[in-house]
């Protein structure tokens, strides 16, 4: 289609020249007026062809851009979801580049697909300009053709240089754009609506959004004004080209060196050459889209080699069915987030015995959650080693290790799927085990409210779909716990619980640890909790401070040592006894967490 459109300008100029010649002969009486039918039909065909090819080219461009963008998005998803560490998902640079790969900014696509079709469109625009210049050279003057091409291409080069600069400025401020979009969402989305209205934050949120938006666009606007002030270069070049195209053929016609009938086709061909000078939409698509291509290249260079193949489902089932509780060993473990100055986990040595219930405790920010993410294979150690049953967890073994781990994180997922799927997704290869789903839900205390849902276990857990319903925070947490229990029952031999009862009341929390933890057999349990009374029955308690182990032992041993753990335990117990920290820490009320 574009190839046909590239021929149209030159062919139109020649058709006009043919028509002018026939009209001249007809007026002079040398030929009948009927001879003009041929060039008129040709011109009509060319006009119709141009319209049809334009429509077809638009449809083809959308198809090509869609295919290219879909492939780019799939590639980004593979990089993001590859079974390797997840530190890149918490890296702002990765987030900026991933968002940039397929961005729609203010309704203007800035994607690799648009860059590809823009480049295709540009190639044929240049071909059309050179074809029109060839007509000018053939019918009138090579010098004029050269002048028109030179001025038009120089105009385009200047415009391209300025717009490349603007595109670079936009890309450099990608993080600020995402911040402005965040505050736009806060101002308009229902998820934040409760606090915005309750606290009277309407005006403050709007002002903050305006501030972030202006921080993003002020530099862009300033650079754009600078580009506009330099447009006199373009005006001068356009004037030179236009004057040359209009005056030189006219003077030649007056002098008799150019037939009067050839003036019009020369002007039409000259106009075809001018068409390459302005920055068409394809130029913006290319320059903006190249930013997405570069972002994709950065993502591929940084994370493309780190992806390892995901274990096949059959292999995972075989491993899970034969699994025995693992021995986990950390040797000099260090983890530091990208571009962070200090390590979150620093030189940690730890051995978790098979089937042991290990509690990790400590104040906020000491690295508890980060440590279990490293143990679960979600982060790779910056230094040191993580060994499972004596073998390093790395490469393809990392994917298999992850499939032996069941987790309940503080920020657990809430899938907009059925209640049964929400439980079974922890071991998706066993999604058909409905009896196992019901058993896990019952053990997690979720069966009672699931069975009261409109469609029971088939009820979709989201209010955004017809027939669906949402759950309370405590109910969602029980669903997440059921998910972990389902995974353990189907061969996952390491259970990680990161504040699994944060949405439950104290009594329900105590019952959870008495019933659920006691019932989980054949699995190693790693537990994080800020309520120390609920972890006192763990086989071993590890107190973390500044990414290191400060002390460890059973609850009884740590209380006898009377150091950091004992101090924290007494502080929490004082809240329930009302004795200002002077309390009997062995009382049943404290043991139950009430």
Distance of alpha carbon 436 from the chain centroid: 35
pLDDT of res. 314: 42
Residues of the chain with CATH 1.20.1560.10: 2-305
Rounded-to-integer distance, Cα 367 and Cα 346, Å: 9
So what's the pLDDT on residue 585? 41
What CATH superfamily classification does 413-492 receive?
Answer: P-loop containing nucleotide triphosphate hydrolases (3.40.50.300)
CATH number listed for the domain at residues 2-305: 1.20.1560.10
Q: What is the pLDDT of residue 106?
A: 47
Length of the chain (residues)? 594
pLDDT given at position 317: 46
pLDDT digits (tens, 9 = 90+) for 281-299: 777 777 777 878 888 888 8
Q: What pLDDT, on the 0 to 100 scale, is given for residue 563? A: 92
Residues 336-358 pLDDT 10s: 887 778 888 988 999 999 888 89
SS3 525: strand
Strand partners, 460: 418
d(CA 305, CA 466): 43
- Convert the pLDDT of each residue in 550-574 to its tens digit: 999 999 999 999 999 999 888 887 7
Mean pLDDT of 503-510: 67
Highest mean pLDDT range out of 50-64, 103-117, 202-216, 243-257? 202-216
pLDDT tens-digit readout, 201-245: 778 888 888 888 888 888 888 888 877 777 777 777 777 777 777
pLDDT reported for residue 511:
67
Angstrom CA distances, 28 to 22, 25, 39, 253, stand at 10, 5, 18, 18
H helix runs in 2-36, sequence order: 2-28
| Rounded alpha-carbon distances, angstroms, from residue 138 to 142, 153, 250, 269 | 7, 20, 17, 11
Residue 31 has pLDDT above 70, yes or no: no
Indicate where the chain has its CATH 3.40.50.300 domain(s). Answer: 413-492
Alpha-carbon distance 78 to 72, whole Å? 10
Q: How confident is the model at residue 450 (pLDDT cuts 50, 70, 90)?
A: very high
């Amino acid at each position: 289609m574009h190839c046909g459109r590239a021929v149209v300008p030159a062919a139109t100029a020649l058709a006009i020249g043919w028509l002018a010649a026939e009209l001249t002969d007809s007026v002079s009486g040398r030929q009948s007026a009927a001879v003009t039918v041929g060039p008129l039909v040709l011109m009509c065909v060319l006009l119709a062809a141009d319209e049809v090819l334009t429509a077809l080219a638009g449809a083809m461009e959308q198809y090509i851009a869609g295919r290219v963008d879909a492939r780019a998005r799939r590639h980004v998803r593979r990089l993001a979801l590859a079974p390797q560490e997840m530190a890149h998902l918490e890296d702002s640079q990765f987030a900026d580049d991933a968002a940039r790969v397929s961005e729609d900014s203010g309704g203007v696509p800035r994607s690799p697909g648009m860059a590809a079709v823009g480049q295709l469109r540009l190639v044929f625009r240049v071909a059309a300009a050179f074809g029109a210049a060839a007509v000018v050279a053939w019918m009138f003057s090579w010098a004029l053709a050269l002048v028109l091409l030179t001025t038009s291409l120089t105009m385009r080069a200047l415009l391209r240089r300025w717009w490349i600069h603007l595109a670079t400025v936009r890309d450099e401020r990608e993080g600020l754009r995402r911040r402005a979009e965040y505050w736009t969402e806060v101002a308009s989305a229902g998820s934040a609506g409760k606090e915005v209205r309750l606290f009277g934050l309407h005006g403050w949120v709007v002002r903050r959004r305006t501030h972030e938006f202006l921080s993003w666009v002020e530099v862009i606007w300033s650079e754009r004004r600078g580009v506009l002030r330099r447009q006199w270069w373009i005006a001068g070049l356009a004037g030179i080209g236009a004057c040359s195209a209009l005056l030189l053929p006219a003077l030649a016609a007056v002098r008799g060196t150019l037939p009067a009938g050839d003036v019009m086709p020369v002007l039409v061909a000259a106009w075809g050459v001018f068409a390459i000078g302005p920055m068409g939409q394809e130029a913006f698509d290319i320059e903006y889209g190249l930013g997405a291509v570069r972002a994709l290249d950065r993502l591929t260079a940084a994370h493309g080699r780190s992806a390892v193949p995901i274990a096949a489902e059959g292999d995972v089932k075989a491993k899970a069915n034969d699994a025995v509780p693992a021995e986990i060993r950390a040797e000099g473990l260090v983890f530091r987030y990208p571009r962070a100055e200090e390590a979150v986990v620093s030189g940690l040595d730890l051995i978790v015995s098979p089937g042991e219930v290990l509690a990790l405790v400590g104040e906020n920010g000491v690295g508890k959650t980060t440590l279990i993410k490293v143990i679960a294979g979600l982060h790779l150690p910056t230094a040191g080693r993580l060994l499972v049953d004596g073998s390093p967890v790395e490469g393809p073994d990392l994917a298999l290790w992850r499939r032996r781990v069941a987790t309940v994180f503080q920020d657990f997922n809430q899938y907009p799927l059925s209640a049964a799927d929400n439980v079974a997704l922890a071991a998706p290869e066993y999604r058909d085990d409905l009896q196992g789903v019901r058993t896990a839900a019952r053990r997690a205390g979720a069966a009672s409210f699931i069975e009261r849902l409109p469609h029971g276990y088939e009820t979709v857990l989201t209010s955004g779909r017809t027939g669906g319903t949402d759950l309370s925070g405590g109910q969602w947490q029980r669903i997440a716990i059921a998910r972990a229990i389902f995974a353990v029952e189907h061969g996952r031999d390491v259970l990680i619980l990161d504040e699994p009862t944060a949405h439950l009341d104290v009594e329900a929390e105590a019952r959870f640890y008495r019933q659920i933890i006691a019932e989980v057999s054949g699995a190693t349990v790693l537990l994080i909790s800020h309520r120390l009374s609920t972890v006192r029955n763990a086989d071993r308690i590890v107190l973390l401070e500044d990414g290191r182990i400060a002390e460890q032992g059973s609850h009884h041993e740590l209380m006898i040592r009377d150091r950091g753990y004992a101090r924290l335990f007494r502080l929490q117990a004082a809240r329930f006894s009302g004795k200002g920290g002077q309390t009997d820490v062995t009382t049943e009320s404290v043991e139950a967490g009430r």
